[in-house]
Amino acid sequence: MPKIKGKAYVLGENVDTDQIIPAHHLVYNLDDPKERKLYGQHAFSGVPVEKAGLPKGKIPFVAAAKQKSEYAIVIASSNFGCGSSREHAPVALNMAGVTAIVATSYARIFYRNSVDGGYVTPFESEEDLSTLIKTGDEVEIDPDGGTLKVKGSTAEHPLKPLGEVADILESGGLFEYARQHNMIS
């Protein structure tokens, strides 16, 4: 997999799917390309200020009247994506321009929805990087080397290997992977 670079958006623990995309924004049709893009506009709009742990109050993930965020990598603590099993959460992050999430652990259904749809790459870290990285830091993830670096720092933070998940994500999701490997027609 190629290296993933971008600005980090840092959150804490137990970020649930209703914080990722609040239920009152689930009115758009995922099958309509124009409406699907609107999910990005509302990504993380349900995160309370105190959970974001950000200086100077809440820094919006997506600027007003935009559908894409300037933040491509989400850094979080444990249990990311807990709550309801809505597929809309990883879709909203994907539509907002998120390419990767780094957390110490994930809710299983969120992890599977992210991988199966090929929406975002969910990396796991042994250490809680949400305490070391700040929103706006430029980070680089080397999936093959299994590391994350913050621009301007020499420290490398180890990430757990993606394993077979990498092949599914590179294919564009589970169904595309199955087609490419003649598992389905």
pTM exceeds cut of 0.75: yes
**pLDDT 10s digit of each residue in the chain, 185 long?**
899 999 999 999 999 999 999 999 999 999 999 999 899 999 998 887 555 454 445 678 888 878 899 999 999 999 999 998 788 999 999 999 999 999 999 999 999 999 999 999 999 999 999 999 999 999 999 999 999 999 999 999 999 999 999 999 999 999 999 999 999 88
Tokens linked to 107? 């809710």
Domain map (residue ranges) of the chain:
4-180
Instruction: Give the number of other Cβ atoms within 10 Å of residue 33's Cβ.
Output: 8
DSSP state of 79: S
Burial letters 123-160, b for 16+ CB under 10 A, else e = bbbeebbbebbebebebebbbeebbbbbeeeeeebebe
Burial of 25 (0-12, 13-18, 19+ CB in 10 A): middle
Which pLDDT does position 116 carry in this prediction? Answer: 96
Which pLDDT does position 55 carry in this prediction? Answer: 43
CATH number attached to the domain at 4-180 = 3.20.19.10
Which pLDDT does position 185 carry in this prediction? Answer: 82
Which pLDDT does position 58 carry in this prediction? Answer: 65
